[in-house]
């Protein structure tokens, strides 16, 4: 384990936990296998399949963030992270393997995660999808119901009016 990176992730996240350790080790795996590092722009992209503690490690260590557009949430709920390098086109999906010992205490699990080799903790594959496009800036449209602005790609047409997602009344008949 890289102690400096762990301390940086803990400072960002606020406490130590196994979930943060998963994120740290996922970053270490990407660094080791792809030769990447801190992303001062959006050339390194992470697509996270969960919204758990490990995502904070990705933000702290690789500087992939929602605001910069290089951290994308794909909510499958899996402990999986896909890393993309825009400069080389390389991509890698890192997926947490099941615990070898399900009776392991929380602190033992965290220590195991921090100290085990990444190949023991994760399975690796190529993501099934392509590199997401770079972040775009959209025009702001004002909702005709609430008066709040939202980017044009998030607006809906309802009764001939442009409305935001919050004001839109979805119509579904069960499909």
Q: How many CB atoms lie within 10 A of CB 175?
A: 3
What digits encode the pLDDT tens for the residues 131-171? 888 888 899 999 999 999 999 999 999 999 999 999 999 88
Answer whether residue 120 shows pLDDT above 80. Answer: yes
Q: Which residue has the tokens 């722009």?
A: 41
Domains and CATH numbers, the chain: 3-125 (3.30.1330.130), 137-175 (3.30.60)
pLDDT at position 1 = 78
pTM exceeds cut of 0.75: yes
What is the Cα–Cα distance from 140 to 147, expressed in whole angstroms? 12
Q: Which residue has the tokens 């050339």?
A: 43
What is the Cα–Cα distance from 112 to 28, expressed in whole angstroms? 15
What is the Cα–Cα distance from 99 to 102, expressed in whole angstroms? 6
- Which range has the worst mean pLDDT, 99-103, 115-119, 143-147? 99-103
pLDDT at position 38 = 84
pLDDT at position 66 = 93
pLDDT at position 84 = 96
Answer whether residue 174 shows pLDDT above 80. Answer: no
Q: Average pLDDT of 16-30?
A: 97
Per-chain mean pLDDT for the chain: 94
pLDDT at position 175 = 64
Tell me if 17 sits within 8 A of 109, measured CB to CB. Answer: no
């Amino acid at each position: 384990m890289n102690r400096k990176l762990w301390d940086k992730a803990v400072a960002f996240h606020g406490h130590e936990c196994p979930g943060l350790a998963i994120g740290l080790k996922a970053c270490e795996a990407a660094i080791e296998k792809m030769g990447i590092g801190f992303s001062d722009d959006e050339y390194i992209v992470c697509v996270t399949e969960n919204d758990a503690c490990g995502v904070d490690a990705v933000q702290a260590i690789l500087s992939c963030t929602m605001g910069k557009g290089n951290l994308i949430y794909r909510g499958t709920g899996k402990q999986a992270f896909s890393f993309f390098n825009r400069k080389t086109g390389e991509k890698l999906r890192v997926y947490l393997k099941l615990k070898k010992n399900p009776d392991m205490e929380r602190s033992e699990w965290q220590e195991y995660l921090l100290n085990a080799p990444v190949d023991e903790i994760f399975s690796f594959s190529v993501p099934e999808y392509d590199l997401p496009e770079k972040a775009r800036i959209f025009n702001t449209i004002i909702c005709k119901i609430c008066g709040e602005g939202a980017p044009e790609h998030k607006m809906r047409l309802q009764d001939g009016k442009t409305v935001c997602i919050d004001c839109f009344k979805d119509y579904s008949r069960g499909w």
